[in-house]
Amino acid sequence: MTRELLAAALCGAVVAAYLLHLVFGPGSAAHRHHRHTRLLWVRGVMAERSQAVMAVQSLRNYVMAASFKASSALLLAIGTVTLSAQAEGLARAWHPAGGVPWGPKVLLLLGALALAFVAFALTVRHLNHVLFGVGLNAVDATGPRTAENVSAQLNRAGICYTLGMRALLLAVPVAAWLAGPVPLVVATALAVGLCLSLDRLPAPH
């Protein structure tokens, strides 16, 4: 139990350090870059009506990606609930004796998957508002309908999408924890390393 709790505390500290890096550290530079890129994209689409078809196709692909991931998170959550019904038999086969009970682990996994589902569902909601905003002509887009406000809505969609992706990726170590502390540590290192690579801006050529 003590060894598993120490592994869980270490992995929790690593994830917390990554989240601080994402919000306050160099990882936030990539997201600031993405926000500015979205603003320029919205301004370009609203100023040049010949880009309308491209904008609709781009937003449609964005909605489809978020919808697919929301459905995946929901299916994984249903599978987790089904798995928990067989917890007693699986715990004897996989779970180390004297370890942390399966109950809190399954609840934590369900929480991560539920967060991912909600984040992707909110992404779709924000994108629906953006779709109407970018359809306006730049001359007519005044007040709350300016390109800046439309891009702010698009950035909210981007934040929700990022949150959903991180929740899905960090659900992997929680699932690995069901098999014991060693898979938890290995999966956490891989998941955080992948998240860090996603937060890095591509090198200029």
Domain that holds residue 31: 2-198
- pTM of structure: 0.84
Kindly tell me the number of DSSP H helices and DSSP E strands found in the chain.
Answer: 7, 0
Number of domains in the chain: 1
> 151-165 in b/e burial notation, b at 16+ Cβ within 10 A?
bbbbbbbbbbbbbbb
Is pLDDT larger for residue 95 or for residue 39? 39
Backbone angles phi, psi at 181, to 5 degrees: -70, -35
pLDDT, tens digit (0-9, with 9 covering 90-100), for 6-50: 888 999 899 999 888 877 766 567 777 888 888 888 888 888 877
pLDDT score at 191: 92
Is residue 15 situated within a structural domain?
A: yes
- Each residue's pLDDT tens digit, 145-189: 787 888 889 999 999 999 999 999 999 999 888 888 888 999 999
164 domain-assigned: yes
% of residues, the chain, pLDDT over 70: 84
In a domain, 203, yes or no: no
* pLDDT attached to residue 86: 67
Inside any domain, residue 204: no
